[in-house]
Amino acid sequence: MAFDFEMIKAVYQRLPERIAAAKKVLGRPLTLTEKILYSHLTEGVASKAYERGKSYVDFNPDRVGMQDATAQMALLQFMQAGRPKVAVPSTVHCDHLIQAKDGAKQDLSTALDKNKEVYDFLASVSDKYGIGFWKPGAGIIHQVILEQYAFPGGLMIGTDSHTVNAGGLGMIAIGVGGADACDVMAGLPWELKFPKMIGVKLTGRLSGWTSSKDIILKVAGILTVKGGTDAILEYFGDGADSLSCTGKGTICNMGAEIGATTSVFCYDKKMADYLKGTGRTDVAAAADEVAQHLRGDNEVYADPEKYFDQVIEINLSELEPHINGPFTPDLAWPISKFAAAVKENGWPRYFEVGLIGSCTNSSYEDITRSASIAKMAIENNLKAKSEFTITPGSEQVRYTTERDGLLQDFEKIGGVVLANACGPCIGQWARHRKDGEPKNSIITSYNRNFAKRNDGDPNTHAFVASPEIVTAMVLAGDLCFNPLTDTLKNEKGQDVKLKEPQGVELPLKGFAVKDSGYQEPAKDGSKVQVKVSPASERLQLLDPFPAWEGMDLKGLRLLIKAKGKCTTDHISMAGPWLKFRGHLDNISNNMLIGAVNAFNDKTDSVKNQLTGEYDAVPKVQRAYKEARVGSIVVGDENYGEGSSREHAAMEPRHLGVRAILVKSFARIHETNLKKQGMLALTFANKADYDKIKEDDTFDILGLTEFKPGVPLKIVLHHVDGDHEIITVNQTYNENQIEWFKAGGALNIIRSQVSLS
Ligand code: SF4
Task: Convert the pLDDT of each residue in 141-154 to its tens digit.
Answer: 999 999 999 999 99
pLDDT the model gives residue 432 = 83
Give the pLDDT band (50/70/90) at residue 696: very high
Q: Which residue owns the Cα nearest ligand 1 atom 2?
A: 425
Give the pLDDT band (50/70/90) at residue 644: low
Q: What is the mean pLDDT of residues 593-599?
A: 97
Task: Convert the pLDDT of each residue in 104-160 to its tens digit.
Answer: 999 999 999 999 999 999 999 999 999 999 999 999 999 999 999 999 999 999 999
Higher-confidence residue: 711 or 229? 711
Q: Which atom of ligand 1 is nearest to the CA of 67?
A: 5
Of 66, 92, 358, best ligand 1 pocket probe by most atoms within 8 Å of the beta carbon: 358
Strand partners, 311: 199
Q: Which atom of ligand 1 is nearest to the CA of 425?
A: 2
Separation of CA 452 and ligand 1 centre (Å): 15
Separation of CA 139 and ligand 1 centre (Å): 11
**What is each CA distance from 384 to 354, 389, 621, in whole angstroms?**
9, 10, 48
Contact residues for 286 (Cβ-Cβ < 8 A; gap 6+): 5, 8, 9, 12
Q: Which residue owns the Cα nearest ligand 1 atom 6?
A: 359
Helix segments in 450-506, DSSP class H = 467-474
Is position 572 annotated as part of the catalytic site? no
Q: Which atom of ligand 1 is nearest to the CA of 256?
A: 1
pLDDT the model gives residue 496 = 98
In angstroms, the CA 97 to CA 426 distance is 9
Give the active site residue among 431, 448, 570, 669.
448
Task: Convert the pLDDT of each residue in 24-73 to its tens digit.
Answer: 999 999 999 999 999 999 999 999 999 999 898 999 999 999 999 889 99
In angstroms, the CA 328 to CA 728 distance is 29
In angstroms, the CA 567 to CA 643 distance is 8
Is position 96 annotated as part of the catalytic site? yes
What's the mean per-residue pLDDT of the chain?
A: 95
Q: What is the mean pLDDT of residues 185-207?
A: 94
Q: Which atom of ligand 1 is nearest to the CA of 360?
A: 6
Q: Which atom of ligand 1 is nearest to the CA of 165?
A: 6
Give the active site residue among 62, 68, 160, 404.
160
Q: Which atom of ligand 1 is nearest to the CA of 393?
A: 7
Contact 729, 715 (CB under 8 A): no
In angstroms, the CA 251 to CA 213 distance is 6
Separation of CA 113 and ligand 1 centre (Å): 22
Instruction: Using DSSP, state whether 73 is helix, strand or coil.
Output: helix
Contact 138, 144 (CB under 8 A): yes
Of 257, 447, 452, 464, best ligand 1 pocket probe by most atoms within 8 Å of the beta carbon: 447
Is position 363 annotated as part of the catalytic site? no
In angstroms, the CA 135 to CA 113 distance is 13
pLDDT the model gives residue 627 = 97
Q: Which residue owns the Cα nearest ligand 1 atom 3?
A: 426
Whole-model pTM?
0.86
Separation of CA 540 and ligand 1 centre (Å): 25
pLDDT at residue 756 greater than cutoff 70: no
In angstroms, the CA 146 to CA 584 distance is 31
Separation of CA 516 and ligand 1 centre (Å): 19
Give the pLDDT band (50/70/90) at residue 83: confident
pLDDT the model gives residue 226 = 86
Of 253, 446, 581, best ligand 1 pocket probe by most atoms within 8 Å of the beta carbon: 446
In angstroms, the CA 128 to CA 96 distance is 22
pLDDT the model gives residue 157 = 97
Separation of CA 392 and ligand 1 centre (Å): 12
Separation of CA 425 and ligand 1 centre (Å): 6
Give the active site residue among 162, 583, 645, 717.
645
Element (DSSP H or E) covering residue 398: helix 395-403
Q: Which atom of ligand 1 is nearest to the CA of 142?
A: 5
pLDDT the model gives residue 139 = 97
Separation of CA 50 and ligand 1 centre (Å): 33
Q: What is the mean pLDDT of residues 294-302?
A: 98
Separation of CA 85 and ligand 1 centre (Å): 28
Give the active site residue among 95, 297, 604, 688.
95
- In this predicted structure, which of 399-413, 427-441, 704-718 has the lowest mean pLDDT? 427-441
Q: Which atom of ligand 1 is nearest to the CA of 358?
A: 7
pLDDT at residue 435 greater than cutoff 70: no
If you ran DSSP here, which 8-state letter would residue 580 be given? G
**What is each CA distance from 243 to 152, 215, 221, 292, 381, in whole angstroms?**
16, 11, 20, 19, 33
Q: Which residue owns the Cα nearest ligand 1 atom 8?
A: 422
Contact residues for 527 (Cβ-Cβ < 8 A; gap 6+): none
- In this predicted structure, which of 196-205, 355-364, 453-462 has the lowest mean pLDDT? 453-462
Query: CB neighbours (10 Å) of residue 670?
Result: 24
Give the active site residue among 441, 643, 653, 658.
643
Is position 431 annotated as part of the catalytic site? no
- 495 φ/ψ angles, rounded to the nearest 5 degrees: -85, 135
Q: Which atom of ligand 1 is nearest to the CA of 426?
A: 3
Contact 361, 244 (CB under 8 A): no
Strand partners, 729: 682
Of 140, 146, 163, 390, best ligand 1 pocket probe by most atoms within 8 Å of the beta carbon: 140
Contact residues for 131 (Cβ-Cβ < 8 A; gap 6+): 1, 2, 75, 86, 90, 91, 92, 125, 521
Q: What is the mean pLDDT of residues 305-313?
A: 98
Separation of CA 142 and ligand 1 centre (Å): 8
**What is the C-alpha end-to-end distance of the chain, expressed in Å?**
23
Strand partners, 417: 390
Is position 58 annotated as part of the catalytic site? no
pLDDT the model gives residue 427 = 85
Separation of CA 631 and ligand 1 centre (Å): 33
Contact 252, 215 (CB under 8 A): no
Separation of CA 175 and ligand 1 centre (Å): 12
In angstroms, the CA 444 to CA 432 distance is 16
Of 92, 161, 162, best ligand 1 pocket probe by most atoms within 8 Å of the beta carbon: 162
pLDDT at residue 434 greater than cutoff 80: no
Q: What lines the ligand 1 site, CB under 6 Å?
A: 95, 140-142, 160, 162, 358-359, 422, 425-426, 446-447
Is position 448 annotated as part of the catalytic site? yes
Give the active site residue among 63, 96, 461, 557.
96
Of 97, 164, 422, best ligand 1 pocket probe by most atoms within 8 Å of the beta carbon: 422
pLDDT the model gives residue 749 = 78
